[in-house]
A and B are shown apart, each in its own frame.
Chain A
């Protein structure tokens, strides 16, 4: 296998983008990534696009062809990848595999979701299709509901509190405040989170990531050719993916995601690093409890200590282990198919030292952690500066 490097990244503004269409949004991120890499579209060999459900959100399937067409990239192979909210991370993984295998040299990994063209009830219904329709959704399960079941059990087993959960939202909104692309530029307090309206208790409105439009794109190249395009290529040091039962009730534990644990094992081994070596991570905080479980499952603290670690400020921008410097899904927004790619954009930008006011001091090794559904899929990538 060949070493793979990221040579360009592009991100759109995240938010309720009513004046922009699906195809415009994807092209905006793509053009930014191409300009960042300084590569010509004619040099590209293949494209992978993460998208959860354009069919439900805008009545459009076959988006691989749509995007290649409007990007002027036909006839290169264009593939859509779907694994619910992990679609983006999975598209990135397949793009990496394509370059590592030697089949393709210059490959686009993109992600997009246009979620606000339908009403909120339609969007939450579309998201619920990532759960087991017959045995979870039939019973009245919602996504906040499934994560609330994990939160309640985590509180019961480890003494995690609603204030611990609130601290995740407070931190991620603070980070999003410094990210021009973020959906929210609004700081919230623990009291704001605690007093926000109930969604699925113990989760309240400000424990939940929003419904978002957005797109993201990265350009990959074989490491040996990366310096033709950039002085700061970022190496893909490790990639890991794992699956788990689709239904939460079928899993052995409700207080962590085994898919995360298994994917992390593979990614750490491939990158020859451990949790201590990770300088920063973008983790899948679709709900506040998800970030707490993620930092435990990734080995940044002991199982059960995630809430305490967060409340003590050990995951803020200025801490030793900054988590979700972009604002995360909570503050930056969560256009589901784009999220996995957007996480990679943040880590690459941090490792290059290009994130302005939210730039952390030591950024040599970074991680992305992207989850599909309530944990049926997890994809993890580890990135490293090439120098």
Chain B
């Protein structure tokens, strides 16, 4: 991944900056450039989402995505945030067997990967169980 491509999304990946439409009040993540509900009458502004939500579904990935081989097996989940939108995220700091649909998680700052040995290190969010 080019440095610019990673750098552009830093606000959303580090601080969960999404969008809120001033017209319909809907909150969106990741950020959008046109409100899908209001289209051109929408007024999108950056919105800092709360980092808490619930697990809607999860899977234990054994055949890893490229670049994630060393992390396998890892848990991937869809988490519905308290502000409304859902995100795809790994669940970290726990055994796979501890995870259930409906569990509450908080999104925490984590290392995601690296471009080869000397490349850029990627960071982002992962979910951690709140019990």
Contact = CB atoms under 8 A, between A and B. Distances in A.
Interface of A: 121, 124-125, 128, 134-142, 144-145, 148-153, 156, 197-203, 247-250, 254
A153 B57 contact: yes
A170 B11 CA distance: 47
B60 interface: yes
B68 A140 contact: yes
B22 interface: no
Shortest 7 CB-CB distances between A and B: which pairs?
A: A148-B59, A153-B57, A249-B86, A198-B62, A149-B57, A201-B60, A125-B66
B64 A142 contact: yes
Contacts of B121: none
B37 to A, nearest CB: 13
A156 B77 CA distance: 14
A202 B59 contact: yes
Contacts of A203: 59
Contacts of A150: 57
B35 to A, nearest CB: 14
B27 to A, nearest CB: 13
Given A149-B76, A249-B87, A137 B59 contact: no
B111 to A, nearest CB: 12
B57 A140 contact: no
B87 A198 contact: no
Contacts of B59: 145, 148-149, 151-152, 200-203
Contacts of B48: none
A163 B111 CA distance: 37
Contact of A145 (B30, B76, B85, B124): B76
B58 interface: yes
24 contacts: A125-B65, A128-B65, A138-B13, A139-B88, A139-B89, A139-B112, A140-B68, A142-B61, A148-B59, A149-B57, A149-B58, A149-B76, A152-B59, A156-B57, A197-B62, A198-B60, A198-B62, A200-B59, A200-B61, A248-B88, A249-B86, A250-B86, A254-B56, A254-B78
B58 A152 contact: yes
A346 to B, nearest CB: 29
B3 to A, nearest CB: 14
Chain B: interface residue count, which band?
20 to 34
B9 interface: yes
A312 B79 CA distance: 34
Interface in B52-109: 56-66, 68, 71, 73-74, 76-78, 85-90, 101
**Dominant secondary structure at the B interface:** strand
A237 B97 CA distance: 49
Contacts of B89: 139
Nearest to A122: B66
A142 B63 contact: yes
B66 A121 contact: yes
A141 B57 contact: no
A148 B86 CA distance: 17
Contacts of B88: 135-136, 139, 141, 247-249
B124 A201 contact: no
Given A136-B88, A139-B112, A254-B78, 20 more contacts: A124-B66, A138-B13, A138-B122, A139-B88, A140-B61, A140-B68, A140-B76, A142-B65, A144-B63, A145-B59, A149-B77, A149-B78, A151-B59, A152-B101, A197-B62, A198-B62, A198-B73, A201-B59, A248-B78, A249-B87
Contact of A141 (B71, B76, B101, B112): B76
A48 B78 CA distance: 37
A120 B90 CA distance: 23
